[in-house]
Amino acid sequence: MRSFIYLSLVLLLLISCSDQEVVNVYSSRHYEVDNLLLERFSARTGIRVNLVKADSDQLVARLEAEGERSRADVLITADASRLLLAKERGLLRRMESEVVEKVVPEHWRDSDMYWTGLTKRARVIVYDPSRTDISNLGGHENLDGHENLCSYENLASEEWRGRVLVRSSNSHYNQTLMASIIAAHGEQGALEWADGVVENMAREPRGNDRDQVKFIAAGLGDVAVVNSYYMGLLHNSQNSEERNVAAQMKILFPNQAGRGTHVNMSGAGLTASATNVTNGIRLIEFLLDKEVQEEIASKNYEYPVVEGAKWPEMLLSWGSFREDTVSMETLAGYREQAMIIFNRAGWR
């Protein structure tokens, strides 16, 4: 009897401890640096991280299906649009974090503190300078004095007919880019731009961002719209062919004379069903630590969201640039219009 009582007490103690020492994370990020950092968080805090990885749409759908029964405490997505969607559907809760409010600029976090950005990615234009001369295409100098293609808008002009490579409209990155075009030019202007880009496509959209760069190397097109960090991953790939492809290319930061280059972000929020709220906030704050931000930048070539965090040599070599600072919340309001425009333009 004593042994039974003793065992019961031990089990109760373990259960109560596990509630305090666990954080359950749903993440659509798929990078090795994330795994290393989560392990470091556990080693530093004693909080075990239970990680579920899937596509962000799948994770949002799972949270909806699980409802209050969900064990998830933190949702991390590779693109801000799905955090905004999760908030709209009541799947997130407000964070009480002075750290987030202090270190993350306002336009990179939710005004109601339901989510925060973790990393930034510039939506850049990539080209092979040995084949593509941009000097007569309305270029101008960026902040570091390097000549630059003028804008995203320029990709819809006749000189790019049959030369543009870009992934499909299903890409979250393209959806937020389209939202930024709507914010800048209205729905009609965005539709005209989309029509022009579709007319100028070198091939029907296929593959991911890295594939678009490889298509340039294969001679299937001349310019590609990609997230900046993919170029860092190609430059530092274990595959020599990918490194060779990256070495042929240059990066352009569009719209430097105007609103700035479109930047999307990955981010995190507390789920509405979270039971380990304190641990979830500790994890998010850990990922916003300056040293952690610098490690993500150095290993995954994303830009830190925390001001003052140092850029690695790879990012510095691309030069500084002016960002489009329209808020993610503003862009979220154009999500449905963006998909309608894609469909009307025939952007598959």
pLDDT value for 277: 97
Sketch the domain layout of the chain as residue ranges.
Answer: 20-120+265-308, 122-262+330-345
DSSP 32-81: HHHHHHHHHHHHHH-PEEEEEE--HHHHHHHHHHHGGG----EEEESSHH
pLDDT value for 20: 56
| Mean pLDDT, range 257-271, rounded to an integer | 95
Mean pLDDT taken over the chain:
90
Please give the structure tokens belonging to residue 311: 């850029």
Question: Is the pLDDT at 3 greater than 60, yes or no?
Answer: no
User: How many Cβ atoms from other residues are within 10 Å of residue 268's Cβ?
Assistant: 25
| Mean pLDDT, range 208-229, rounded to an integer | 96
Domain 122-262+330-345 has CATH 3.40.50.150: no
pLDDT value for 149: 56
Q: How far apart are CA 176 and CA 263, in angstroms?
A: 9
Amino acid found at 346: G
pLDDT band at 51; cut points 50, 70, 90: very high
Q: How far apart are CA 242 and CA 210, in angstroms?
A: 9
Question: Is the pLDDT at 206 greater than 70, yes or no?
Answer: yes
Q: H or E stretch including 53?
A: strand 48-53
Question: Is the pLDDT at 265 greater than 60, yes or no?
Answer: yes
pLDDT tens digits, 146-197: 344 579 999 999 989 999 999 999 999 999 999 999 999 999 999 999 999 9
Q: How far apart are CA 36 and CA 296, in angstroms?
A: 10
Report the CATH fold assignment for 20-120+265-308: D-Maltodextrin-Binding Protein; domain 2 (3.40.190)
Name the 3-class secondary structure at 67. Answer: helix
- Residue 13 CB contacts under 8 Å (≥ 6 apart), including other chains: none
pLDDT tens digits, 98-142: 999 999 999 899 999 999 999 999 999 999 998 887 754 444 444
pLDDT value for 257: 87
pLDDT value for 81: 87
Please give the structure tokens belonging to residue 60: 């949002």
- Residue 131 CB contacts under 8 Å (≥ 6 apart), including other chains: 222
The model's pTM is 0.87
DSSP state of 154: G
Percent of the chain clearing pLDDT 90 (strictly above) = 81
Identical fold for domains 20-120+265-308 and 122-262+330-345, yes or no, is yes
pLDDT tens digits, 289-334: 999 999 999 999 999 999 999 999 999 999 999 999 898 889 988 9
DSSP 85-153: HHHHTT-EE----HHHHHHS-GGGB-TTSS-EEEEEEEEEEEE-TTT---TTTT-EE-TTS-EE---SG
| Mean pLDDT, range 227-232, rounded to an integer | 96
Q: How far apart are CA 262 and CA 123, in angstroms?
A: 6
Question: Is the pLDDT at 49 greater than 80, yes or no?
Answer: yes
β pairing state of 250-252 and 22-27? unpaired
Q: How far apart are CA 154 and CA 144, in angstroms?
A: 21
- Indicate the range of 63-72, 194-203, 328-337 predicted with least confidence: 328-337
End-to-end CA distance of the chain: 69
